[in-house]
Amino acid sequence: VQLQASGGGLVQPGGSLRLSCVGSGRSFGSAVVGWFRQATGKEREFVAATYMGGGDKAYADSVKGRFTISRDSAKSTWYLQMNNLKSEDTAIYYCAARPSRVIFSYWRRSEQYEYWGQGTQVTVSS
Q: Collapse the DSSP code of 105 into the 3-class scheme (helix H, G, I; strand E, B; otherwise coil) and give the result.
A: helix
Q: How many angstroms separate the CA atoms of 114 and 111, rounded?
A: 8
pLDDT above 90 coverage of the chain, percent? 89
Largest distance between two CA atoms of the chain: 41
Give me the pLDDT at residue 103, please. 87
Residue 61 pairs in a beta bridge with none
Q: Collapse the DSSP code of 33 into the 3-class scheme (helix H, G, I; strand E, B; otherwise coil) and give the result.
A: strand
Give me the pLDDT at residue 31, please. 92
Give me the pLDDT at residue 102, please. 86
Q: Which residues of the chain have pLDDT under 50?
A: none
Cα 55 to chain center, whole Å?
A: 16
